[in-house]
Structure 1
Amino acid sequence: MTPLIETRALSRHFGGLKAVEAVDFTLQPGEIRAIIGPNGAGKTTFVSLICGRIAPSSGSIALDGNDITRLPAHKRVLAGIAYTFQITSIFPKLTVYDNVALSVQRRLLKAGRVVAGELDAGVAQALARVGLADRAQTLAGNLAYGHQRLLEVAMGLALEPRLLILDEPTQGLSDGEIEGFIALVREIAKEATVLLIEHNMPVVMQLAQKITVMNFGRVLAEGSAEEIRANAAVQEAYLGTGRDG
């Protein structure tokens, strides 16, 4: 099977800082994969390279076997890669509905059509999936932080992506909302591949079919939840002093 995403020797340096260093990574279609690691391990930089927000210093990225290393971020969105940010990137002065409508419109324009009924249906479906249907006319900036995170997930879902990248998606969610989120990701995985960065280890252990552990910009370990739990190098990395970034 051709991997959905494959990186080879992917690196990103900021001056003398090797934020990501020679990472080989393979993600299969339909997989739920988690990337974990201490603060500053390079997780967000790595997924930012995949979605095109930053350019690599060296190495390559392929989507379905096609090189996308130099493809601009907006074209990667059109190719089916959606990314929700570690810090919310909603439009606070627009309503919840209008935030999601922007994503639906982009998807419909790609398909060569924008029909009012399809726009409304797409927004309604995305908001219902994340539990925000009753807040459609609320200004996004007035939502609680956890609900802003869910809105951002809805914006990603509205694109109907092949790959949905979620960066710290449960941050700010209540216990009940986290349970709902776990169920949501399992539903999403029936239609798309999910790659998430997450510090909430119970969430990771419940969701991820495979876990990639990063430390100092490199892949430290990969495996199932049970294999990662038992890995001494992973335990040592998490017991070390956290680093910002």
Structure 2
Amino acid sequence: MNPLLVTRGLSRSFGGLRAVDDVDFSLQEGEIRAVIGPNGAGKTTFVSLVCGRIAPSAGSVSFDGRDVTRLPAHRRVKRGIAYTFQITSIFANLSVFDNVALSVQRRLIDHAERGGSRFSAADLRHGVEEALQRVGLHERADQPAGKLAYGHQRLLEVAMGLALAPRLLILDEPTQGLSDAEIESFIKLVREIAQSATVLLIEHNMPVVMALAGRITVMNAGAILAEGTPDEIRTNSAVQHAYLGTAQDG
């Protein structure tokens, strides 16, 4: 089976700093893959290259068998790549409902432009309510998004990503600010998401990583240090030296 996402020689430099260094990476459809590593390892820069937020200095990105290296972020969203940011990017002055409605509207318009049926206000409302229900924010739909607790803002971002019905959902530090009970609910949510989408997860919470990921990619100094199952990564001496037990991710 061909991978859903492939990078070849992917690199990005900022001045003299090689933030991502010649990364070859592949992700199968239906996977839950975690990317871990110490601070400054290049994780967020790597996924920013994948989703088109920044352009590579060298290398390529292919999605579903097509080269998307030159496509801007909004065109990659149309192809099925959704990304939630490490720092929340909600519209603070809009309600929770309206934040998600922007994503639902984009998906419905894209569908109509590809020859699908025109959508109604009921279609829009159904899409929003479904996304909010999945992340447990349906009772907060009328609240201003900026008034939510930080952890709930992160969940709102996940709802905005889900509302796009992506084939690949990239989650950058999604459990930051969540309580233990909310983290347990989040783990169940990601497992449910993975039934219909591929998940690429940057996460500092190692119990979450070990509970969710089928495979783990470890980055260090902009390059891939190791890849494997949770058990393989847990017992990898190079990973232990560079990260596990000696450093905290961020």
TM over 0.5: yes
Question: Which moved further from structure 2: 14-23 or 108-117?
Answer: 108-117
Inter-CA distance 220–88: structure 2 relative to 1 (3 Å threshold): same
1:149 corresponding residue in structure 2: 154
Deviation of the 1:241 alpha carbon: 6.2
Distance in structure 1 (CA, Å) of the matches to 2:54 and 2:196: 27
2:115 corresponding residue in structure 1: none
Q: Deviations over 1:185-207 (max 9, x none)?
A: 00000000000000000000000
2:25 corresponding residue in structure 1: 25
**Aligned ranges for residues 23-62 of structure 1 at < 5 Å?**
23-62=23-62
Structure 1 portions without partners, runs of 5+ = none
Partner secondary structure for residue 55 of structure 1: coil
Deviation of the 1:114 alpha carbon: 2.9
1:169 corresponding residue in structure 2: 174
Distance in structure 2 (CA, Å) of the matches to 1:115 and 1:196: 34
Runs (4 or more) in structure 1 with deviation over 4 Å come to 239-244
Structure 2 portions without partners, runs of 5+ = 113-117
Q: Deviations over 1:112-142 (max 9, x none)?
A: 1331110000000000000000000000000
Deviation of the 1:64 alpha carbon: 1.2
Distance in structure 1 (CA, Å) of the matches to 2:12 and 2:144: 37
Distance in structure 1 (CA, Å) of the matches to 2:122 and 2:214: 37
Distance in structure 2 (CA, Å) of the matches to 1:232 and 1:36: 15
What TM-score do you get using the length of structure 1 for normalisation? 0.98
Provide the aligned C-alpha RMSD in A: 1.1
1:118 corresponding residue in structure 2: 123
Counting matched residue pairs gives 244
What is the letter of the counterpart of residue 94 of structure 1?
L
Deviation of the 1:69 alpha carbon: 0.4
Query: Is 2:32–2:194's contact at 8 Å kept on the other side of the alignment?
Result: yes
Give identity over the alignment, percent.
Answer: 72
Distance in structure 2 (CA, Å) of the matches to 1:196 and 1:62: 18
2:230 corresponding residue in structure 1: 225
1:200 corresponding residue in structure 2: 205
